[in-house]
């Protein structure tokens, strides 16, 4: 990698980190491109060179959070139950990280913005759930595998809302594991009925 390419990538990452901090602390609507450029220590034109719109920058922030918080679950040849538990533990752990919770809070307060919601949905849930959809399709004949994957994800992520509503509340790893195992067993009973 050439020095100029490396410097460009470092500048891009600096802008993404600045935007992440401002979005999570101030919200999407209350963060301007001027503020992002000032926080990143670059000109506004530089921000626009890398990101044509604030929505594009928000998408980059989401991708950055996904890439840096945890390793995604890789489906392999274990039992269906073990694979779903592995995916569920990854999903819950990722969504209970501070940055992920901050992003979810932002969507709760500003998700009514259609452009923001579409960006969130296409960058986040669709991308994260696609491997689960493919796994379910490989093992079951389902009319709407994305819907089924979303329902499993919603059940797994139920504790997130309780954590958001009670300040300082967390869910320790053993409790996460137990929750995911119970949900997976229930899900498989429903799926195989």
The predicted structure's pLDDT at residue 7? 87
Environment class of 51 (CB within 10 Å of its CB; exposed 0-12, middle 13-18, buried 19+): buried
140: left (phi over 0), alpha (psi -120 to 50) or beta: beta
Q: Which CATH number fits domain 3-54: 1.10.10.60, 1.10.10.10, 1.10.510.10, 3.40.50.300?
A: 1.10.10.60
Least confident of 36-40, 97-101, 117-121, 156-160: 117-121
Question: Rounded mean pLDDT of the chain?
Answer: 90
| Of residues 123, 128, 120, the one with CA closest to residue 146 | 128
CATH class of residue range 70-191: mainly alpha
Q: How many other CB atoms sit within 10 Å of the CB of residue 55?
A: 16
Give the model's confidence band at 24: pLDDT under 50 very low, under 70 low, under 90 confident, else very high: very high
Domain boundaries, the chain: 3-54, 70-191
Low-confidence winner among 58-67, 110-119, 167-176 (lowest mean pLDDT): 110-119
The pLDDT, as a whole number, for residue 1 is 67
Q: What is the pTM (predicted TM-score) of this model?
A: 0.84
Instruction: Quick: pLDDT tens for 30-73.
Output: 999 999 999 999 999 999 999 999 999 999 999 898 888 667 78
Three-point CA angle 158, 161, 167, nearest 5°: 140
């Amino acid at each position: 990698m050439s020095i100029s390419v490396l410097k460009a990538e470092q500048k891009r990452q600096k802008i993404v980190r600045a935007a992440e901090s401002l979005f999570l602390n101030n919200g999407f609507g209350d963060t301007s491109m001027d503020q992002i450029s000032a926080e990143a220590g670059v000109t506004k034109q530089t921000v626009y060179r890398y990101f044509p719109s604030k929505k594009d920058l928000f998408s980059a922030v989401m991708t950055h959070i996904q890439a840096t918080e945890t390793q995604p679950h890789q489906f392999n040849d274990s039992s269906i139950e073990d694979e779903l538990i592995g995916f569920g533990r990854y999903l819950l752990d990722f969504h209970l990280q501070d940055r992920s919770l901050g992003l979810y809070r932002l969507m709760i307060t500003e998700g009514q913005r259609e452009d923001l919601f579409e960006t969130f949905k296409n960058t986040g849930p669709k991308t994260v759930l696609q491997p689960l959809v493919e796994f379910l399709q490989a093992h079951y004949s389902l009319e709407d595998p994305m819907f089924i994957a979303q329902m499993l994800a919603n059940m797994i992520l139920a504790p997130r809302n309780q954590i958001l509503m009670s300040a300082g509340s967390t869910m320790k790893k053993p409790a996460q594991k137990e929750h995911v195992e119970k949900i997976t067993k229930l899900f498989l009973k429903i799926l195989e009925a």
